Structure 1
């Protein structure tokens, strides 16, 4: 089982020095990957509920550093860990520019980038970015088309409803071939079909194990129906736990519980998913505690 860690970037951890310290120390501890997420703002009167039981957006999101800039810094500060986005709200920028940025990141890191993309859930961010909320699925499909065009041959061209790229020479390419792995998020049937048809994997979340198992099996079966190898798909699973001193109700694990309970969950999903990565930013108070939790977890799992 591969084990990853979220790179500090928001709330009290929105400090580049914290991100770089964790990047270096996590690699030294033996973590396999580092991940960043993506928030643009925290509306004072949000139009959409947060995806949590109480629907309240964490106040820590009011202070959020840019994910791709942090990955560039981490790429230059590490040598082994893979570097991923989970998830990048890729629809907020033209895909031609995103292709260039990810190409540069992949070169900086020596071919260690995993591009995890989501369509987001907060329409206020779309409004601020000047991007329509409606039609996100079609926008994502064309974004993927443009990325593939830029990462294919040197001669690049694309014509679609949203973007036109005139026939051009673009020789800067990622280190990874044919492209950096593209992992997609989503919890609706259309998202699962898109993953099965054209992505390199699903950014899984801490669902109840029967539901998680059923979802992964469904994606694999759909991939087979599209003539793809389901065994080639990746399923990294993100957990944002609240760590407690006392054992929690097992029904609430992995979202709430001790580090020992979290480690037990990681072992249970071994083989179902290929990687688990953990974000302690909503449960730790400072970088020292963040690293202590990370050290305790990796020791318990290994």
Structure 2
């Protein structure tokens, strides 16, 4: 199991210099990867579709740009993989997105994992001026454009939403022919897209029965597309609610002591390509607290 952490970028961690220093310290602790998330705003009125129908943390309204935060992390580190889980890819034209991601891959000398998804908040789409309807089709063409920009020379694309005349688009990414693309999502069309088009799935810590059912959709789609699902990566985000006393065993996929949460992750991660990353930004208030708790997770997850 590979072990990563969230790049500090929300709430009290929304300081690029402090974030970069913390990323360097996380690398020193021995983690495998660092991951950014993507939020534009935190509505005062609970947004439609928010899990549980409750209020979003106000920390999401204080945030660093994910790609710039990842660039700062790249400059501050030397070894760790650098990813996004997830980058809401539809808020900018795909050619512009490809340029930014290529630059990040070059800055990091080939350490970038491109994790993208559709997002879930209508309010962000409205604020970004991007249609909510047709998101899946828009993502499919976004993937087509990224593939054309990174694989072809010269680049040309003609689609329903975007047209790129035959053009020179350089430089190409450090990783050839392109950085790994990981896709998020839990609905059947998103899972099918993972199996058909992606190098891996951006998931979350969840009950094992739910995981088995969702992964079966990915595996079936991969088989139908002539691909081997065993070669796909699975990256599980852990939004840890850390408790000092043991939680109900049925809840340890999302809350519990460090040991309880790690025990669940060990049972969940059964494939050689499986990876977890723990987001501690909602349960700590300072870089020192973040690093102390990250160290506890690393110690527990790497224990024999």
| Match runs of 1:1-302 below 5 Å | 1-51=1-51, 53-272=52-271, 274-302=274-302
What SS is found at the alignment partner of 2:132? coil
Contact 1:158 1:166 in 2 (8 A): yes
Deviation string for 1:141-173 (max 9, x for gaps)?
010010001001221011111111111011311
Contact 1:32 1:81 in 2 (8 A): yes
Q: Give the stretch that moved more between structures: 142-151 or 16-25.
A: 16-25
What displacement does 1:54 show? 4.4
The separation in 2 between residues aligned to 1:199 and 1:83, in whole angstroms, is 17
TM-score by length of 2: 0.96
The separation in 1 between residues aligned to 2:174 and 2:230, in whole angstroms, is 23
The separation in 2 between residues aligned to 1:142 and 1:180, in whole angstroms, is 18
Contact 1:49 1:55 in 2 (8 A): no
Deviation string for 1:101-142 (max 9, x for gaps)?
100100110101111111111111111111111110010001
Number of residues paired by the alignment? Answer: 301
The separation in 2 between residues aligned to 1:298 and 1:282, in whole angstroms, is 18
Question: Structure 1, unaligned stretches of length 5 or more?
Answer: none
Q: Give the stretch that moved more between structures: 132-141 or 262-271.
A: 262-271
What displacement does 1:218 show? 2.7
What displacement does 1:208 show? 0.8
Contact 1:49 1:57 in 2 (8 A): no
TM-score by length of 1: 0.97
The separation in 1 between residues aligned to 2:278 and 2:32, in whole angstroms, is 12
What displacement does 1:46 show? 4.6
What displacement does 1:285 show? 2.0
Deviation string for 1:33-89 (max 9, x for gaps)?
0000000011223541312x3432111111011000011111111111000000001
What displacement does 1:221 show? 2.5
Contact 1:49 1:56 in 2 (8 A): no
The separation in 2 between residues aligned to 1:79 and 1:58, in whole angstroms, is 32
What displacement does 1:17 show? 2.4
The separation in 1 between residues aligned to 2:222 and 2:37, in whole angstroms, is 27
